[in-house]
């Protein structure tokens, strides 16, 4: 349980949760000295998609990101979850219970023109809608980047290790053009690869076009996050995603510690 001193804010507003209010920044405050409250030293990591509910199950806030902010005193920064209000919130102190239901999904669209606002991102929203139709998604968030290997590596690392997204899908940059940097950037951050996902996508793509053979997509795991590269076109994104959707839920369950047998006994 977390006892939080709420600031008044409208539904949809996002503020950090801080142990002490950072300079120049409004923040919901963690109250550590109340009975049953979490002391600062034991503040749990709250991955993206975590909901903060009251004792009746009503959701007040949802974790939608993490930032580092300067503390009011001392030389160190604070790691602050970003909390988005799920309803209009009054000023006051309340004890809330963290809980997670569905998965958290991040998608990254790689496009130089898209990052400049010169091309609409159709692939990202399409893949998010397809995942939602097959899985219980608590929180989904999109990101738009130019074809920049360093920035992609940094974002993948933050989404997996800091934000704690369950599923991270990239779209674009999987071919052989000089600007196609997605696979090599992804491989450099993975703990290990999952070649079976790549094989399933390649098999499905080759049934549509022989040009699929030039795809360099990769898939794998970083900490507890599953990362999969998808092509850039909306049509190819959905074809590749459909090839692996039946296995995604099982893979995420295993990453989260499911101990059940993988195969049913005959």
Q: Give residue-wise pLDDT tens across range 58-85.
A: 999 999 999 988 877 777 888 889 999 9
Nearest to 196 by CA among 131, 251, 261: 251
| DSSP string of 194-263, one letter each residue | -HHHHHHHHHHHHTT-GGGGG----EEEETTEEEEEE-SSHHHHHHHHHHHHHHHHHHHHHHTT--S-SS
DSSP letter at 42 equals: G
Burial class from Cβ neighbours inside 10 Å (0-12, 13-18, 19+) for residue 266 reads exposed
Hey, how many other C-beta atoms are within 10 angstroms of the C-beta on 168? 23
pLDDT value for 43: 65
Which CATH fold topology does 103-255 show? Molybdenum Cofactor Biosythetic Enzyme; Chain A (3.40.980)
pLDDT value for 168: 98
Residue 193 pLDDT grade (very low, low, confident, very high; cuts 50, 70, 90): very high
Q: Where are the beta strands (DSSP E) in 31-159?
A: 51-53, 59-70, 77-85, 92-99, 103-110, 137-145
60 Cβ neighbours under 8 A, 6+ residues apart: 6, 52, 53, 54, 85, 86, 87, 89, 94, 96
Residues written for the chain: 266
Are 176 and 211 a contacting pair, CB within 8 Å? no
Residue 185, pLDDT above cutoff 70: yes
Per DSSP, the three-state class of 113 is: helix
Indicate the range of 33-42, 61-70, 103-112, 116-125 predicted with least confidence. Answer: 33-42
Residue 141, pLDDT above cutoff 90: yes
Domain ranges in the chain are 2-99, 103-255
Residue 40, pLDDT above cutoff 70: no
pLDDT value for 260: 74
pLDDT value for 258: 76
Per DSSP, the three-state class of 114 is: helix
Residue 119, pLDDT above cutoff 90: no
Alpha carbon separation from 20 to 6, 25, 209 (Å, rounded): 13, 11, 57
């Amino acid at each position: 349980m977390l006892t939080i001193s709420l600031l008044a804010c409208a539904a949809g507003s996002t503020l950090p949760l801080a142990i002490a209010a950072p300079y120049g920044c409004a923040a919901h405050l963690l109250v550590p000295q109340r009975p049953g409250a979490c002391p600062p030293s034991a503040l749990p990591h709250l991955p993206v998609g975590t909901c903060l509910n009251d004792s009746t199950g009503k959701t007040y806030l949802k974790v939608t990101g993490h930032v580092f902010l300067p503390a009011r005193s001392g030389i160190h920064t604070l790691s602050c979850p970003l909390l988005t209000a799920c309803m209009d919130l009054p000023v006051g102190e309340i004890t809330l219970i963290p809980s997670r239901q569905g998965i958290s999904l991040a998608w990254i669209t790689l496009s130089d023109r898209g990052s400049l606002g010169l091309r609409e991102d159709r692939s990202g929203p399409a893949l998010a809608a397809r995942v939602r139709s097959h899985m219980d998604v608590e929180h989904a968030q999109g990101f738009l980047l130019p074809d920049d290997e360093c920035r992609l590596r940094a974002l993948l690392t933050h989404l997996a290790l800091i934000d704690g997204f369950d599923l991270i899908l990239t779209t674009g940059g999987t071919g052989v053009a000089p600007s196609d940097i997605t696979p090599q950037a992804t491989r450099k951050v993975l703990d290990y690869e999952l070649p079976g996902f790549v094989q399933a996508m390649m098999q499905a793509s080759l049934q549509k076009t022989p040009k699929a053979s030039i795809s360099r997509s990769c898939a794998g795991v970083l900490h507890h996050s599953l990362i999969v590269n998808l092509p850039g076109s909306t049509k190819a994104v959905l074809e590749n995603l459909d090839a692996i959707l039946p296995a995604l839920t099982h893979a995420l369950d295993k990453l989260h510690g499911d101990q059940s047998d993988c195969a049913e006994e005959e």
